[in-house]
Each structure stands twice: as C-alpha cells, then as structure tokens.
Amino acid sequence: MNTDFSFAVSRRGFLVAAAGAAVSASLRPARASAVDERQIKVAPGQARFSGADGPSTAVWAYDGTIPGPILRLRQGEPVRITVENGLEEDTTVHWHGIRLPNAMDGVPGLTQPPIKPGESFVYEFTPPDAGTFWYHPHADSLVQLGRGLAGALIVEEREPVAVDRDLLWLLQDWRLASGGQIAAGFGSAMDAAMSGRVGNVVTINGRAPADLSVKAGERVRLRLANASLARMMALRFQGHSPVAIAIDGQPCDPHEPEGGRLVLAPAMRIDIVLDMQGDPGSRHAVIDDFYDGLAYTLTTLAYDAEPPLRAHPLDASLALPLNPLPAPDLANVVRQEIVLQGGMMGGGKLAGVGGMMGMATPGMHGGAAWAINGMSMTGDGHAGMAPQFTLERGATCHLTMRNETAWWHPMHVHGFSMLVLSRNGSPVPHRQWQDTVLLAPKDIIECAFVADNPGDWMLHCHVADHQMAGLMTVFRVN
C-alpha cells in the first residue's frame, strides 16, 4: 500500500492518483474541464423545409440549423453554455422544464438582463432530471419562436434504456405566406384573443415529414416535443399502441394513453415506446386529429421488407428510473388558485382588468386580451413584475388552475415540475408530473409541487400570443 495516500483522500481521488503520475498531473485542470462547455450562436439563417432542393425560407436559428442543435447533457453533471446574440434585437434562452437556479432561467428583466445584439451570456447549471426538455428564447417570444428559435435538450439517463433506437421528433408549426416566407402579422389582435398563431406547415426536425422507415420487431423510444407557437396536436399511430413513459421529461407509470391519442399542446413533451409490430413492408399513418374536421397525416411508418428483428416484443421493463423530484406533502399544503380569464367569447371577463396594461410591448397591436386573477401581465417578463403569490421555501403548494375562458391553454410553470392531482374532480392516474398542463375550456386542474427553489418564477400560457397578451403571472419562493 502506498502510505502517501493514508491521509484523507476521497476514494475517487485515490483511485485516480493510483492510476499513475500522468493522470495525477492533470488532476487540477481536470476539475475545470469536467464542466461540459457548449456554445450557441443565435442569428438569422435560411431553412429548407422540403429538403435541399426546395425553396429556402428566411429564419432565425441556433447555430444555423432548424431546429437548433440537440443539446445532449448528462444528468447531474454541470454544463456551461455560452449564448452569443447575432440578432438585431435582444434575446435570452430559457431551458424549458429544467429545474435550475433562478438566475439561469432566461427571463429578461426578471432573472437576467437581456442579451443585447453582439453580446453573450453564460448559462451554467446542472440538470437534476433526466428526460426530454427544450430550449427557446424568452424575449420577443412570439416572433423569435415563430421565426424558428427552438431546440431539443435531452438529459440522458445515467444507465441507457433498453431500446433499439432513441428518436426525437421536434414538431414545429409555421405560418408561411405564398412564396414560402414566414408570414408577417405576428401579434394580430385576432390571433391574440383566439387560438393564437396556428400555422399552415408542420415540420418534424425542421423538415416537411417524409416516411419514417422502421424495422419489424424493433423497439423505439420516440421523444415527441411540440415547439409550436400555438398548434395543439393529438397524434395517433395507426395499427400501433404507443406507451407513454414520460411526460414533460418526467417518468410516469408506463401507460397507453386514452384512445391511443397523444395530446401535445405547445411546449409539451411525451416520450413513448413503440414496439414495431406491423408486417414487413406495411405502412401505417401517423395522424394528428386535434382539431375537429382538420385531421391530417403527419407522417407514415414505413416498414422495410426485412423479417422481424425478434419474434416477440422485448420484455424489458418500460419504466424509466425516477428523477429526484421532491415529494409534495399533501397533508400539509399551502393553497393557491389562479383563474384564467378573457379571450373572445369569454363573457367579458376582462372588464375592469387592473394593473399592468401599460406594459404591453411595442409591436403588440392588441394589448391585453387575457388575465390571470384579474391582472394582465403582457409581453415577455419585466423587472419589477409583482408576484401573484409568495411561497415559503420548502412548502408544498397545492395549486388550482381554473379556466374560465372558451379556449385551450397549456399552462407552464418555470423552475418546477408539478404533480397533476385531478382534472375536473377526477384523480389523474399514472403519476404524471408536468411543467406544462393543458386546460381545456372550463377545466379545473389541481396540482402540487414543493417550493424548493427560491426566486421569482413565471407561470404562463405557452400559446405565445396568449402569453404576450396577458396570460402570464409571476410567483415568488422566498
């Protein structure tokens, strides 16, 4: 035994040192370089949604690609991401769904100064949870997201999951004018007060969807992420039975969704496992039928002619390892309620809205169209937004969200994941934690989370027009 190491060294330090002088010489820098360093540049660019030979569309892009590069991070390992702003307007990056320090949350004014043109900002955090997340701007959100700024952020499980392929579909919806350019008219009063800027072209990973070629017998993990401004989706895989294994990045009890329909509102993610049980050579449509009478085929699963990879589906468990989410203490909660108000046909609930009308950002034609608890916070987030409620650190918040409007709203909480307890009085099964909870018109949702992360946090509808036009609030954790 080498007695030089008899003083207190960590087991790890000992093993590394014992491995040889060459390694120990690099020990100190190794600590710094253990931080995963990344760089992203935000700038105008061009995209070709229909392939290399198709027309090109002027977009705004992360590192020149639509969607932005997939950031693959490791659970529990620190990352440092330098974002450089090559746009002619301010931007920020929000790491949607990641539980991180408030100062890294990317809300201009509220959690950081905006990144000015030509400047950079360094984001540093350690993702505590494995799963499917995404990143996008939180400045001029409607326009920047609508011009293409979005990318997937995948935090890998510590142990790989037993599947044959791990695929991602980052779904985006574009409103293109004739000529293939992004249509003007962001923030029209009609979009703002109704269903938001729903587009006319849907892409998967930045391309007009082609067939997805699959092999009989294979097991695929498919990460679905809806990065649209406003388009809700409900996907059905004809002839297949997808099993949901995670929602908004958080593992749930594996289950087949009701009617085999995967409802994905803007900002939501669902990870599914698909056992490819079709016959070699067969074809199966993937249909989005969210909007009545407007169903369309998103893409097609096209089996190759090879014989099945295996005779029976894998019997490996579908359950993902759980993330270290703090368990709500449901016997001892602080109750808060938010009421969503406004919109067309909303019964005139906006009459007498107080507060922050003057904060409408230039370029918003409509001003406030929505409110939360009678208050309209418009735009993207600002210094001095008064919190709607304050929670003591460590308290379990029992949050009721009541939709008094005639519209659908995916309500998103920054900094936390919420355990969804009930919908309209019925318990929600399968242990669903979500950062974005979809409320149908008139829905009442109850959820709970532990306020373990101090700071001022956003809570807003992720239909970008709705957020900009007042469906946003802030709460504080002391």
* Residues contributing to the site for ligand C2O (CB under 6 A): 94, 96, 136, 138, 267, 412, 414, 458, 460, 462
**Closer residue to ligand C2O, CB minimum distance, 220 or 340:** 340
In the complex, least distance from residue 201 CB atom to Cu ion, rounded to whole angstroms: 22
**Closer residue to ligand C2O, CB minimum distance, 130 or 411:** 411
**Closer residue to Cu ion, CB minimum distance, 231 or 414:** 414
Distances from the Cα of 196 to the Cαs of 114, 115, 248, 382, 469, in angstroms? 25, 27, 22, 22, 10
First and final C-alpha spacing in the chain: 51
Evaluated on CA atoms 453, 457, 462, 464, the torsion sign reads: negative
The angle at the Cα of 461, spanning 456 to 466, to the nearest 5 degrees, equals: 120
In the complex, least distance from residue 138 CB atom to ligand C2O, rounded to whole angstroms: 6
In the complex, least distance from residue 458 CB atom to ligand C2O, rounded to whole angstroms: 5
Of positions 226, 338, 466, 468, contacts Cu ion by CB under 5 A: 466
Of positions 81, 130, 301, 463, contacts Cu ion by CB under 5 A: 463
The token pair that represents 293 in the structure block? 């009478």
Distances from the Cα of 319 to the Cαs of 153, 163, 246, 259, in angstroms? 21, 12, 9, 21
Q: Pick the piece of the chain touching Cu ion (CB under 5 A) from 90-98, 278-286, 330-338, 386-394.
A: 90-98
**Closer residue to ligand C2O, CB minimum distance, 58 or 103:** 103
164 phi, psi to nearest 5 deg:
-80, -35
Binding mask 133-172 for Cu ion (x = CB under 5 A): ----------------------------------------
CA gap 47, 406 in Å, rounded: 36
Which of 184, 175, 183 shows the shortest CA–CA distance to 202?
A: 175
461 lines the binding site for Cu ion (CB under 5 A): yes
Binding to Cu ion, residues 25-84 (CB under 5 A): none
| Size of site (CB under 5 A) for Cu ion | 6
User: DSSP secondary-structure letter at 103?
Assistant: G
Distance of CA 237 to the CA centre of its chain: 22
Report the partner that residue 463 touches, choosing among Cu ion, ligand C2O, none (CB closer than 5 to 8 A by kind).
Cu ion
Q: Pick the piece of the chain touching Cu ion (CB under 5 A) from 95-103, 271-279, 376-384, 437-445.
A: 95-103
> In what helix (H) or strand (E) does residue 224 lie, and over which residues does it extend?
strand 219-226
**Closer residue to ligand C2O, CB minimum distance, 96 or 175:** 96
414 lines the binding site for Cu ion (CB under 5 A): yes
In the complex, least distance from residue 414 CB atom to Cu ion, rounded to whole angstroms: 4
Report the partner that residue 147 touches, choosing among ligand C2O, Cu ion, none (CB closer than 5 to 8 A by kind).
none
In the complex, least distance from residue 246 CB atom to ligand C2O, rounded to whole angstroms: 17
In the complex, least distance from residue 391 CB atom to Cu ion, rounded to whole angstroms: 18
Helix (H, G, I), strand (E, B) or coil at 331: coil
219 lines the binding site for Cu ion (CB under 5 A): no
| Number of helical (H) and strand (E) elements in the chain, helices listed first | 6, 31
Binding to Cu ion, residues 258-317 (CB under 5 A): none
The token pair that represents 102 in the structure block? 């408030």
Q: Where are the alpha helices (DSSP H) in 9-92?
A: 11-18, 21-25, 27-33
103 phi, psi to nearest 5 deg:
-70, -10
Of positions 409, 433, 446, 459, contacts Cu ion by CB under 5 A: 409
**Closer residue to ligand C2O, CB minimum distance, 136 or 240:** 136
Q: Pick the piece of the chain touching Cu ion (CB under 5 A) from 309-317, 387-395, 448-456, 459-467.
A: 459-467
> In what helix (H) or strand (E) does residue 464 lie, and over which residues does it extend?
helix 464-468
Residue-wise DSSP of 84-140: EE-SSS-B--EEET----GGGS--BTTTB--B-TT-EEEEEE---S-EEEEEE--SS
> In what helix (H) or strand (E) does residue 412 lie, and over which residues does it extend?
strand 409-413
**Closer residue to Cu ion, CB minimum distance, 257 or 381:** 381
Which of 271, 472, 278 shows the shortest CA–CA distance to 369?
A: 472
**Closer residue to ligand C2O, CB minimum distance, 134 or 237:** 134
Q: Which residues bind Cu ion (CB under 5 A)?
A: 96, 409, 414, 461, 463, 466
